[in-house]
Amino acid sequence: ATVVRREDYAAPAYWIDTVDLCFDLDPAKTRVLNKMRLRRNPVVPAQALRLDGEELNVARVLVNGAGCSFKIDGNQLVLESLPEGHEPFDLEIFTICVPEKNTQLMGLYVSQGTFFTQCEAEGFRRITYFLDRPDVMASYTVTLRADKSKYPVLLSNGNLVDEGPLPDGRHFAKWVDPHKKPCYLFALVAGQLVAREQHIISRSGGKHQLQVYVRPGDMDKTEHAMNSLIASVAWDEARFGLPLDLERFMIVATSDFNMGAMENKGLNIFNTKYVLANAATATDTDFANIESVVGHEYFHNWTGNRVTCRDWFQLSLKEGLTVFRDQEFSMDLCAEPSARAVKRIEDVRVLRTAQFPEDAGPMAHPVRPDSYAEINNFYTVTVYEKGAEVVRMMQTLVGRDGFAAGMKLYFERHDGQAVTCDDFAQAIADANPDSDLARLLPQFKRWYSQAGTPHVQAEGVYDADARSYTLTLSQSCLPTPGQALKEPFVIPVSLGLLSADGQQLPLQLAHWTHAEEGSRTLVLTQASESFTFVNLDSAPVPSLLRGFSAPVVLECHYTDAQLLTLLASDPDPFNRWEAGQRLALRRALLAILNEGPVTTEPLDGAFIGAMREVLRHPQLDAAFKELVLTLPSETYIAEQLAEVDPQRVHAVREAMREQLASALQDDWVWAFETHKDNGAYKPDPIGTGRRALAGLALGMLCVAARHTGDAVWPGKAYQHFKNASNMTDRFNALSALVVSEHALAREALTRFHALFRDEALVLDKWFALQAGAPDRNGNVLPAVRKLMTHPDFNIKNPNRARSVIFSYCSANPGAFHRTDAAGYLFWSERVMELDAFNPQVAARLARALDRWKKLAEPYRGAAREAIARVAAKPDLSNDVREVVTRALA
């Protein structure tokens, strides 16, 4: 496979100004007539036109209406004798494709009898020959023709300008997109769909029609998506002054989709998972995810569509920025500051359990990568979530208003253009000329070019005579593939100081004239820097990196007493949570690194007491308590170790959970009883938090019961499961039974399946719960193999494949890492099986063994062998080939 390099970027030799597409839709044979108006790019030396195309049959090529010679060179159609000069010319290409055979779900495909498209990153070339690159932006007119009874709804980007009947029971619809766009934002949908509709008038008086299209039986699950869309439109206008620029904005849901959703101009296409929800079928987490994905795709309308990427290396230009925007959106929708903090903690948890491992593994790459073999492999947590953190640091450095001013300048400069990450950073800096960001911009941009997670070491020394405290911050970053040495980053460190009894102390650096209350942000730019705070009567407890002000690993030798102070009193909720995680992590690591068998009591009285305090706290809210009382994940714990024995990590975390369950039994009972009833279901932060804490409590009570053999709590869980009035409570109760392996779990699972046999998204949960179940005697892998023979299992459906295969390989380390290597064998079989029809999904699964080099024997050798087995397959896709090659490098 050829490697594409960022430094090789060259402007296109031709521009495509207009595209007129006409589709005769037929699953077995779709005809696509593509009429383009092109012109040579005057700044590029004259050369042949090379159009991209994949799995297309060419029937005809006309230049200015006359037949012309062309050749096919691999995946390109090459036209050598085009009119000379810079006058525009017409090119007409007629091709045929076979949507029903499209199992990759890239390009034009059929899902449950309905046509859908997915073009990002390079799917448009599977529909017609084109300059399939984001810097070629054209005006589109699209005519769809299809059988009227099978495909009554015909949708594409922009506005419907004409529609009507055709002979033989067919009909047509003609759409014009008023905005120029790159071809990756093209979309069409044709099938039997119904829509929830809402007309809105925006702040600035614009009238718009919003629609959410679903299959006929799903209308009762569209209200939340519509409300999320309405909220998104209002938020972007209020916070950034960015209005909806279309008369009509559509969301369409499909159950066959490789990822979450796609921001096609005016016609977003979504995985049903991120559209459909009602109280009976969706959990609070589903509701929250829908809100943020609907927001995310909508916000792309400006950050991605109006201003797009020059090339795919700039992907984070739109993705990092848009994740940042959807995170801010969800936070701004929270009425309480504590709910904002809960959202921040959840986002950081994703970053640290998924992105930090990526940044330390074989697929590590900068936020703006330098090369790729397959661009689809770079839709990563680094480009998305770390990219969002980079944008967040910019906001921290210039302030919220300064950031809004920077966004304004960005759109003034670049609306309608395809630009780079540099252009974005420059606009934010230029709008804030006196900021640290402007002063440090070239160094700040190392966040885009250097991979790896920086480590920041903090050392504090208190001088009683001088009444001063000197904090020394040092940074370093380990090598990543292709980058041996790293230059220092610009690291904003928000901090405060507390007294030993938890009072917030005034902050005064030696050269400041007066003290400040609360938090300050220091900016670390050197490998090591010291900051001296004055007027302190006793040694302070530093609260560092408040709100997780930079995506780094903070190493600070806190005493337990200091962490307990932070956990009890830090006014910064993030660091309060973080202190609890550090206390738990320290105990986990001690138990893991101890010689001999795993202790049954890794926790001490002080830790348990502190957890009880939080759980019983009269002021803290339930959502925050649930986060504090949840132990660090096995993945996160494993990342802290030089060599990982996954079974030992699992055993220690289980022992901690069992101890916490038993030691706090009365408190869990109290928590369950006082949080379980929430009245009418509302997926708001308060109700969500209460259900989360009640769910955790019930789970813990069942864990404790497993120990004692007591039947009361499993019995209550079963009742709760049966009588639940919403999916969150029902699923939490079901998980409590499955996780504690109680005999009632079987019965509950059977009942659950019977209740929801026609709800695909609920069945996904049913499969996932079983594939993710605890493994106490090697029973999970056989159960997973059996689930794959279940009549409801279908490996071709990505959601279903993920619910079984990924839940086992990527989310169940205690069951996947087996000493007999059978988990890895299963993984290699599935990667190869999936790769034969859906390389994108296969390549995601291939990433499950990214961290194999960190494993202890016998896991490491077995994992290597499994990866080598995949790599030895001769006809692998580019996607999987790139992942396994990097893993073995």
Site residues (vs ligand B3K, CB under 6 A): 120-121, 259, 261-263, 296-297, 300, 319, 376, 379
Best CA proximity match to 32, nearest among 159, 123, 144: 144
Cα Rg, the chain, nearest whole Å? 28
835 interface partner picked from ligand B3K, Zn ion, none, CB below 5 to 8 A per type? none
Distance of closest approach, residue 92 Cβ to ligand B3K, in angstroms? 29
User: Rounded distance, CA 289 to CA 285, Å?
Assistant: 6
DSSP β-bridge partners for residue 162 = 174
Classify residue 99 as exposed, middle or buried by CB count within 10 Å of its CB (0-12, 13-18, 19+).
buried
664 interface partner picked from ligand B3K, Zn ion, none, CB below 5 to 8 A per type? none
- Reported in sequence order, the residue ranges of 545-626 that DSSP labels E, i.e. its strands, are 553-556
Closer CB to ligand B3K, 263 or 775, in the complex: 263
Distance of CA 202 to CAs 207, 228, 675, Å?
7, 15, 39
Query: For residue 337, what are the contacts with CB-CB under 8 A and spacing of at least 6?
Result: none
Best CA proximity match to 741, nearest among 777, 766, 690, 768: 777
Distance of closest approach, residue 268 Cβ to ligand B3K, in angstroms? 9
Distance of closest approach, residue 131 Cβ to ligand B3K, in angstroms? 19
Question: What's phi and psi for 540, nearest 5 deg?
Answer: -85, 160
Closer CB to Zn ion, 328 or 639, in the complex: 328
Distance of closest approach, residue 120 Cβ to ligand B3K, in angstroms? 4
881 interface partner picked from ligand B3K, Zn ion, none, CB below 5 to 8 A per type? none
What are the structure tokens assigned to 64, written together? 């200015």
Distance of closest approach, residue 295 Cβ to ligand B3K, in angstroms? 10
β-sheet with 553-556: strand ranges across: 528-533, 468-476, 455-463, 553-556
Distance of closest approach, residue 578 Cβ to ligand B3K, in angstroms? 28
Closer CB to ligand B3K, 292 or 688, in the complex: 292
Distance of closest approach, residue 304 Cβ to ligand B3K, in angstroms? 7
317 interface partner picked from Zn ion, ligand B3K, none, CB below 5 to 8 A per type? none
Which helix H or strand E contains 754, and what residues bound it? helix 744-755
Q: What is the DSSP string of 512-558?
A: -SS-B-S-EEEEE-SSEEEEEE---SSPPEEEESTT--SSSEEEE--
Distance of CA 722 to CAs 281, 285, 730, Å?
14, 21, 7
Catalytic residue among 122, 291, 297, 626: 297
Distance of closest approach, residue 252 Cβ to ligand B3K, in angstroms? 14
775 interface partner picked from ligand B3K, Zn ion, none, CB below 5 to 8 A per type? none
297 included as an active-site residue:
yes
- Please, where are the H alpha helices in 188-252? 223-240
Closer CB to Zn ion, 116 or 299, in the complex: 299
Give the number of other Cβ atoms within 10 Å of residue 390's Cβ.
Answer: 23
259 interface partner picked from Zn ion, ligand B3K, none, CB below 5 to 8 A per type? ligand B3K
Give percent helix, percent strand, percent coil of the chain, each to the nearest 5.
Answer: 45, 20, 35
Closer CB to Zn ion, 315 or 637, in the complex: 315
Question: What's phi and psi for 513, nearest 5 deg?
Answer: -80, -25
Closer CB to ligand B3K, 259 or 855, in the complex: 259
445 interface partner picked from Zn ion, ligand B3K, none, CB below 5 to 8 A per type? none
Closer CB to Zn ion, 179 or 886, in the complex: 179
User: Rounded distance, CA 785 to CA 830, Å?
Assistant: 11
379 interface partner picked from Zn ion, ligand B3K, none, CB below 5 to 8 A per type? ligand B3K
Closer CB to ligand B3K, 242 or 734, in the complex: 242
What are the structure tokens assigned to 287, written together? 């509701």
User: Rounded distance, CA 260 to CA 60, Å?
Assistant: 36
Contacts with Zn ion by CB under 5 A lie at 319, 322
Distance of closest approach, residue 318 Cβ to Zn ion, in angstroms? 6
273 interface partner picked from ligand B3K, Zn ion, none, CB below 5 to 8 A per type? none
Show the CA angle centred on residue 835, arms to residues 833 and 839, nearest 5°: 150
Closer CB to Zn ion, 322 or 353, in the complex: 322
Q: Which residue, judged by CB position, is nearest to ligand B3K in the bound state? A: 120
Question: Among all residues, which ones are annotated catalytic?
Answer: 297
